[in-house]
Amino acid sequence: MKKLISGIKPTGQLTLGNYIGAIKQFVKLQNEYESFIFVADLHAITTPQNKKQLQKLIKELVALYLACGLDSSKNTIYLQSENPYHAHLSWVLNCHTYLGELNRMTQFKDKAAKLKKEGIPAGLYTYPVLMASDILLYDADVVPVGDDQKQHVEITRRLAERFNNKYGSTFKIPDVIITSTGARIKDLQDPTKKMDKSSVSDKGVILMLDPIESIKQKIRRAVTDNDSIIKFDEKNKPGISNLINIYANLKDISIKETEEEFKKANYGDFKEAVANLVTEVLKPIQDKYHQIINSNIIDDILNQGIEKALPLAKAKCEYVSKKIGLGRP
């Protein structure tokens, strides 16, 4: 069976963007791939985090993975920080990464700009290398992510190719999987921006655990345009196009089918339909989440996950060390 790997950073409450771009794909693909889904807590600390809040977000993220339908018998679910081999391989790959490559990472530039006053951690700069290690450590065939992570999967491929050329075949070259309608869900108040769990204001961000009525309000208040036609046009109608993407994705239909369904509707009717669909999807997830969050199942699943991930990662790191000439002959 081919392998899949992906992770999410526990840096804030998960958004509808995280669900559509990532988790919904993990759930769908778990039947086709042997899946490794982790909590990227080492990546979380590349920007300042509050210790108590981080602990809470790690647990919430695992509960949400399960509530969304990740099956622990089909997925290895674990915490990145409990597996020291991610950081080990990251160091090795750091020694094979060029500064020029890291300088081109757009996410680094965006995040660094916000941290200018406090100082920019070196970990934020080498973030993509740790991500490459997460992926290459398990010989993943595919990496389902949202569009914002595509550049990081591309550098992963490049690092793997470079390493293979230098030391002989060592790493599998992974493919990215991005859904067409779910690649980049936008902020409802500023549809030129990604819907982001780290946004300062959550007015344009649907949190997966938001109260149902608040989700509906946010969608009803979504910024649109002065036109009244429900037509996909990201350049001229970014707000409506975003809502079309959300609707089409959650209903598993195409953009054309969505336009057809609402060709006689006005913006108010369309927003109501989007609000109903989003809450229909999120309500059962929320109910399940509340059953899981206070149970022991989270620890059991993380124990089971790390037990499976550790030996695989250890074996891969030993293999890599041998290839380079590290350690004792």
Q: What share of the chain is helix, strand, coil (3-state, %, to 5)?
A: 55, 10, 35
**Would you count residue 17 as binding ligand TYM (CB under 6 A)?**
yes
> Which of 105, 98, 34 lies closest to 305 in space, CA to CA?
34
Q: What is the DSSP string of 87-141?
A: HHHHHHHHTT--HHHHHT-HHHHHHHHHTTTT---HHHHSHHHHHHHHHHTTT-S
Question: How far is the CA of 324 from the CAs of 95, 158, 210, in angstroms?
Answer: 11, 18, 49
Binding marks (x or -) toward ligand TYM, 183..222, rule CB under 6 A? -xx--------xx---------------------------
Residue 109 is among the residues annotated as catalytic for this protein: no
- Piece of the chain touching ligand TYM by CB under 6 A; list 1-9, 92-100, 225-233, 305-313: 1-9
Which of the residues 3, 9, 186, 194 is marked catalytic? Answer: 194
Q: List phi, psi (to 5°) of 108.
A: -60, -45
User: Of 3, 24, 197, 216, which one is the catalytic site residue?
Assistant: 197
CB of 115 to ligand TYM, least distance (A): 16
Give the range of 114-122, 143-151, 217-225, 297-305 binding ligand TYM by CB under 6 A.
143-151
- Angstrom distance (rounded) from CA 200 to CA 76: 33
Regarding 135 and contact with ligand TYM (CB under 6 A), the answer is yes
Which three-class secondary structure state does DSSP give residue 220?
helix
Q: Hey, which residues between 98 and 127 contact ligand TYM (CB under 6 A)?
A: none
Q: Which of 3, 24, 97, 134 binds ligand TYM (CB under 6 A)?
A: 134
The count of C-alpha atoms lying within 13 angstroms of the C-alpha of 86, restricted to the half-sphere facing its C-beta, is 24
Is residue 129 part of the contact set for ligand TYM (CB under 6 A)? Answer: no
Is 279 near ligand TYM (CB under 6 A)? Answer: no
Cα 115 to Cα 49: distance, rounded to the nearest angstrom:
13
Query: What part of residues 146-165 is at the interface with ligand TYM (CB under 6 A)?
Result: 146, 148-149
What residues are labeled active site? 111, 194, 197
The site for ligand TYM (CB under 6 A) is made up of 5-9, 17-18, 20-22, 40, 43, 131, 134-135, 143, 145-146, 148-149, 182, 184-185, 194-195
